[in-house]
Amino acid sequence: MKNQPLNSRRKFLRNLGAGASALSLPFLGYADNEFVRHENNGLYTLDKNLKDLAQPGRKLGIALVGLGYYSKNLLAPALQETQYCRLAGIVTGTPTKAEEWKQKYNIPQANIYDYKTFDRIADNKDIDVVYVVLPNSMHEEYVVRAAKAGKHVICEKPMAITPKECQNMIDACKKANKQLAIGYRLHYEPFTKEVMRLGREKVFGAVKFVESSDGFRSGDPNQWRLKKSMAGGGPLMDVGIYAIQGARYVTGEEPISVTAQFAPKTDPQKFKDVEETMFWQFEFPSGAVSNSTTSYAAGVERLYASCEKGWFELAPAFGYGPLKGRTSKGPIEQPVVNHQATHMDGVCKDLLDGKTLRDHITGAEGLWDVKLLQAIYQAAETGRKISLKA
């Protein structure tokens, strides 16, 4: 991937008109060319090979794979209010959950799968998109199987544990001529889009430094999130990725180096496999720097940018909302939306319109974040500054 942040920024500025008008529309998806990361992405076009869902007016059928916390409490309720997609099927290894969801959401038996029968979803015309909401180590297998079954895919963050897994997922979707989106719900969220605009348009002058941190106190000591083989790491993999994204999207730049440190463990038994708290620092091409904390020991949720002529911040910045923002000139006012509904609608509207998805939401973005996650661990483990190249 080629990184030309200054050109990207120019391109972003050239397209501000389109971005501003999109904000006044009821649908809060992205305007063309918003959230540009790579120069000449050229991907957001009508792709003749991907026209199969280009049927305006129809709602896409989504099948959720894994009916844990996020599916049950956030995605399924959101799918009751989406304009461009609906809950059409489920994939679960627990028969009692299958029965409960079948009743609650009126899901036909033919659209209910377990992990063994999952591949038969290929024959199900009612399901257009498979949404993988499993532990991180299982994302690769189910994205690849979904692509092979001929379905477009949404995969939760982090995209996977290693860049190699991410690449396999991208390759499988490409081979099947199917699109792959990542569960970056905040990319469609108005407060987030506003701080991106404030930073990228230099409303308060150039961003000089960013503090971007996300953490919470984790509970159950036996959960998969504390097992390195399933989660890939600790809070960095889980919520630290939001702090990485925050620093990237308010600067509109890609980091060129990282240093990182692990904090001492206060509960070594609980955190025997993964970090409990850690810190990292990015340098950006413009000279802007960011500092971040992520933790499973205690809560933090803040995105603060200090600029030449003022500052802006979101706090809370990364949770399910409502997010809150303020600047050195006063509060940030934006509509409060359902993050999950807006995200799924944003992705599905593009699929229905027969467009290839924008770079910021695809596997390319997921892969880059996983590379950054790995670089942060490498920096903390070696104590060295790691150079980065987008």
- Residue numbers at the binding site for ligand NAD (CB under 6 A): 66-71, 93, 133-136, 156-157, 183, 185, 224, 238
**What is the smallest separation between the CB atom of 264 and ligand NAD, expressed in angstroms?**
26
Measured CA to CA, the distance from residue 232 to residue 221 in angstroms comes to 16
Say how many residues make up the chain: 390
Pairing of strands 325-327, 289-295: unpaired
What is the radius of gyration, based on Cα positions, of the chain? 20
Measured from the CB atom, is 235 or 255 closer to ligand NAD?
A: 235
Q: In what order do the strands lie in the sheet with 257-262?
A: 330-332, 325-327, 310-314, 300-307, 207-215, 289-295, 277-283, 257-262, 386-387
**What is the smallest separation between the CB atom of 209 and ligand NAD, expressed in angstroms?**
26
Measured CA to CA, the distance from residue 200 to residue 212 in angstroms comes to 16
Tokens of 243: 């702090």
**What is the smallest separation between the CB atom of 275 and ligand NAD, expressed in angstroms?**
16
Measured from the CB atom, is 38 or 339 closer to ligand NAD?
A: 339
**What is the smallest separation between the CB atom of 360 and ligand NAD, expressed in angstroms?**
15
Measured from the CB atom, is 19 or 158 closer to ligand NAD?
A: 158
Give the number of other Cβ atoms within 10 Å of residue 64's Cβ: 26
Give buried/exposed letters for 340-358 (b at 16+ CB in 10 A, else e).
bbbbbbbbbbbbbebbbbb
In Å, what is the CA distance from 150 to each residue of 72, 120, 160, 266?
25, 11, 20, 47
**What is the smallest separation between the CB atom of 114 and ligand NAD, expressed in angstroms?**
10
Give the number of other Cβ atoms within 10 Å of residue 69's Cβ: 11
Catalytic residue, chosen from 59, 113, 151, 157, is 157
Is 30 one of the annotated active-site residues of the chain?
Answer: no
Q: SS3 letters for 97-120?
A: HHHHHHHHHCCCHHHEECCCCHHH
Is 242 one of the annotated active-site residues of the chain?
Answer: yes
Q: In what order do the strands lie in the sheet with 152-155?
A: 112-113, 85-91, 60-65, 129-132, 152-155, 180-182
Measured from the CB atom, is 134 or 375 closer to ligand NAD?
A: 134
Catalytic residue, chosen from 242, 249, 304, 377, is 242
Measured from the CB atom, is 194 or 238 closer to ligand NAD?
A: 238
**What is the smallest separation between the CB atom of 207 and ligand NAD, expressed in angstroms?**
25
Measured from the CB atom, is 68 or 150 closer to ligand NAD?
A: 68
Catalytic residues: 157, 242
